[in-house]
Structures are given as structure tokens and as C-alpha cells.
Structure 1
Amino acid sequence: MLPVVLYTKRKIFKSYCGFSFFIFIWIYDPQKKDSSLIRHEKIHFLQQLELLFIFHWLLYGLFYVAARLAGHNHDKSYRSIPFEREAYAHEDNINYLNDRVAFSWVRYCVP
């Protein structure tokens, strides 16, 4: 299964340039040149597939809420989510999507 990449004319949720949900990836990239952003969102797509979509979003929310309860601000909480840590760590690696091992995000659960 491949995700459907859709380009938007505005940023998503007022500040994000990419968003992956179910089989869709929304990208705000007026130049349509930022392939690292698309790779980042495709990593999220693979994570969602592994967790049957719903469990990915449940865990995503739990990781975020746990970080907020630990006293972190929004940005630090968002960046601490293991799914985001994996995606940011590998978004510039053009081979990562082909070489990625299932459930690779688990290694990012420990800070």
C-alpha cells in the first residue's frame, strides 16, 4: 500500500508543513522540492501501517500527553515523541524507506 500525497495551498494546522493520516499525506510545499518532508511523512505512514493506524495515533497522543505532564512545552513534547524522533533522524536519508526495519521507532522510546 502506498500513501496518496496531496499538496495544499496553506500550512496544516496553521504551522505544520506536512501531515500524515491514514493513506493520505498532506504537504504544504509551494516549491514542491522538499523531498525530506515527504520522506518524513512517509516514515509516519509506515509507522501507522505497523500499528494498524489507530494504535499509532493512540500511542502518539499518549507520548505527547506524558511529555506535557512531565512539564515540557508543546515543541519539546512534540519532538520527544518516538515517532517524530525516528522521522526527523532519517528524513534526509534517501535510502531509509527501503532499508527501514519494522517497528524501528521503538528504539527511540528511551530518551
Structure 2
Amino acid sequence: MYEETPRVELTAAAADLLRRLRATHGPLMFHQSGGCCDGSAPMCYPRGEFRTGDADVLLAELDVEGVAEPVAFWMARSQYEVWSHTRLIVDVVEGRGSGFSLEAPEGVRFLTRSRVVGA
């Protein structure tokens, strides 16, 4: 059921922010839950700091120019079931998101936008 991996891409602003965060925090990962708060905002963590398991799906290993290793993008399986027909676009917007995500002190937050793809 989950062998089809939705496409995930980064805007230029998101890639720039990831390069800065990587320089400070080391290898990175994203996790996007289906929770009530910041549900459309992927949380950025040092790679491996957020524990993933059977309730999560690895959607992509994002290559970022200037970053040695890919940035894993995980999503809660329940959220994936809703968004599996979309192209996910990770962007950056002004404003504070979750205090748990690495970009919070920067005064910006990651945001997932989506575009429906063909059936």
C-alpha cells in the first residue's frame, strides 16, 4: 500500500534555512504529524532525535546542495493516508511555529504546501 512514495520538494528558502541549521545542529530530519497543532508544519530535528516507528512513513531523503547527507522527511502514517495523492512542497514563512522545531529561534517556520498530482 505504501510502495508509492509521494514527491517531496524544497523551496529555495527552505533549502537555504536547512543549510544554516545543518551548520549549527548537524544532520537533520523532518517529521510531520497529524496532530492538532502545526499539523501542516513539518518539525525539523537533529537526525535521529525524533523517534520514528511503525506509525510513520519515510517519504523522502531530500538532497540539499551544500549539505553532506540527505534530510529525511517522515510523516505520520495517518497523515500520509490523507496526503498520499499530493506533491509536498516544504517552504519557509515568517512567524513562530512549534518551539520544538529547530527553526523556531529564527523567527520563521517550515510549512508544507501541497499540490494534487494525477491519480
TM-score by length of 2: 0.27
TM-score by length of 1: 0.28
Between the two structures, name the one with larger relative contact order (CA 8 Å, sep ≥ 6).
2
* Structure (1/2) with the larger strand percentage: 2
* Structure (1/2) with the larger helix percentage: 1
